Amino acid sequence: MLATATLTAEKNAYEVALENFDLAANALELDNNVRAMIKYPERELTVSVPVRMDSGKIVRFVGYRVQHSTQRGPAKGGIRFHPNVTIDEVRALATWMTWKCAVVNIPYGGGKGGITCNPKEMSMGELERMTRRYASAILPIIGPEKDIPAPDVYTTPQIMAWIMDTYSMMKGYPVTGVVTGKPISLGGSLGRNEATGRGVFYTIRSSCQNLGIPFQGARTVVQGFGNAGSIAATLMHEAGAKVIAVSDTRGCIFNPRGLDVLAVVEFKKRTGSVTGFPGAEKITADELLALDCEVLIPAALENAITVDNAHTIRARIVAEAANGPVTPDADRIFDEKCVFLIPDILCNAGGVTVSYFEWVQDENHLFWDENDVNAKLEKIMVRSFNDVFKIHVERKVNMRLAANMVGVGRVAEACRVRGLYP
Ligand code: NAD
């Protein structure tokens, strides 16, 4: 196996993203001229976002939009509202979006945005004023042909609707294709809400087929029973796998005979958490990760599996529904233990793929039914898995490096044929 990037206390997500690029570029023996053109963000914008709070006081927030690449098409990527947002985090997420869009071969580059704020402490009115002011500040660089934002952590379809409305008011006509993840009533796509979990499910099914692991009865553990995790769990359950444990921020539940996932979804809807679900045992977060199982799906946040707990993992397949849940040091331990990793830029790419479908439908003013959306998504996810798996086998590299090689290789090829302007 080729080397894995190293994450140390001094290294932030962007430094890791750059190091992963170098590993892929080295494995591809990329020309230095091409590296110089595709490695770093093309454009970065930092904006002041003054907002009149409900108290009458004006507070200045800081927002960012980074376009890492537009080599293969307009920049694409979410907007995050979170207290920990920094320019380096946004750069890292934008860089990963470039490789992710290339892995699933949709005609986009990569971008990301964010505002350093705590939306949980803000009223709806404050959130709307902040969103609209931010949208007008980044307006010169976004648009359906330039850069198309979407929801990310703590941004919702409603927030996308405010961005669409602000952009449209400034242009003087409605522009639905400026953002994706919109409400269905405003040009959103059927199937978008389930797309990430559905894509996770397709990549796990392909992994089981290729590794000779029986899917029927495959014991599955899900950390983070939110949008991505609960949909992936539901589809695994419906297709015959056995979901034995799930968790959320309040706790973890376990039943070795298998949980009735649809009942857990209903229970969580009613009570706000999976904890207390009847007929299941309560276990700790560490015990959940260390369960003997075929499939582990980290679907919560970054850095869930690190050098401290990677050695406890007994799953044969780890499917990264979340972005960055397994650190580079943990990757190396997985290589030693022969854990099969489905990397985030492949595993959770179903979300951006159906965002692409949404944009296509908006631009054509013609909408598809849900079966069409799901069938097209399945085709793309299965093909992308096969592309990455082929490199993994032929080049004897781990799946993370294989996915980065596919992504970086496609962007490099676009760069080569476009050439350098002027
Ligand atoms: P979400 O907020 O719907 O769900 C997150 C879930 O994780 C919640 O149930 C929360 O309680 C749980 N959680 C948080 N911390 C936890 C912890 N320490 N232990 C156990 N559970 C914990 O968010 P989501 O949209 O499902 O996103 C989850 C991850 O998937 C994120 O990393 C996100 O970037 C990634 N992702 C999501 C999409 C998408 O379309 N939703 C697309 C690509 C990537």
CATH of the domain at 248: 3.40.50.720
- Is residue 60 located within the same domain as residue 139? yes
Shared-domain flag, residues 265 and 211: yes
Mutate to test the pocket of ligand 1, among 301, 320, 344, 346 (most ligand atoms within 8 A of CB): 301
Q: What is the pLDDT of residue 2?
A: 43
Residue from 89, 227, 253 to probe ligand 1 pocket by mutation (most atoms less than 8 Å from CB):
227
- Domain containing 269: what range? 195-347
Same domain, 228 and 141: no
As a whole number, the mean pLDDT across the chain is: 96
- Flag whether 60 is in a domain: yes
Q: Do 303 and 341 fall within a single domain?
A: yes
**Are 270 and 336 in a shared domain?**
yes
Q: Is the dihedral of CA 181, 187, 188, 191 positive or negative?
A: negative
The pLDDT score that the predictor gives to residue 153 is: 87
Residue 247 lies in a domain: yes
**Is residue 362 assigned to a domain?**
no
Residue/partner pairs of 253-258 with CB below 8 Å, 24 or more apart: 253/277, 253/280, 253/281, 253/282, 253/283, 254/280, 254/281, 254/282, 254/283, 254/287, 254/288, 254/291, 255/279, 255/280, 255/281
Residue 17 domain-assigned? no
In a domain, 183, yes or no: no
- Residue 30 within any structural domain of the chain: no
Q: What confidence score (pLDDT) does residue 12 get?
A: 83
Judge whether residue 253 has pLDDT over 90: yes
120 is catalytic: no
The 10s digit of each residue's pLDDT in 297-341 is 999 988 899 999 999 999 999 999 999 899 999 999 999 999 999
| Whether residue 212 sits in one domain with residue 113 | no
Domain total in the chain: 2
Tell whether ligand 1 has an atom less than 6 A from the beta carbon of residue 127: no
Q: Is 301 in the pocket of ligand 1 (CB under 6 A)?
A: yes
Residue 371 forms part of a structural domain: no
- Give the domain-ending residue among 347, 374, 405: 347
Q: Is the CB of 323 under 6 A from ligand 1?
A: yes
CATH code at position 145? 3.40.50.10860
Question: Using one digit for the tens of pLDDT, what is the confidence trace for 254-301?
Answer: 999 999 999 999 999 999 999 999 989 999 999 999 999 999 999 998
Same-domain check for residues 220 and 335: yes
* Residue 10 clears pLDDT 80, i.e. is over it: no
Same domain, 132 and 205: no
Mutate to test the pocket of ligand 1, among 271, 306, 323, 381 (most ligand atoms within 8 A of CB): 323
Q: 76, 100, 112, 182: which one is catalytic?
A: 112
Query: What local confidence, expressed as pLDDT, does residue 4 receive?
Result: 53
Rounded to 5 degrees, what angle do the CA atoms 239, 243, 248 make? 125
Last residue of some domain: 321, 347, 373? 347
211 and 339 within one domain:
yes
Ligand 1, atom nearest to 229 Cα: 26
196: pLDDT strictly greater than 90: yes
Give the pLDDT band (50/70/90) at residue 7: very low
Nearest CA to ligand 1 atom 17: 249
The model's pTM: 0.96
Measured in angstroms, how far is the CA atom of residue 304 from the centroid of ligand 1? 11
302 CA: nearest ligand 1 atom: 32
- State pLDDT tens for residues 363-392: 999 999 999 999 999 999 999 999 999 999
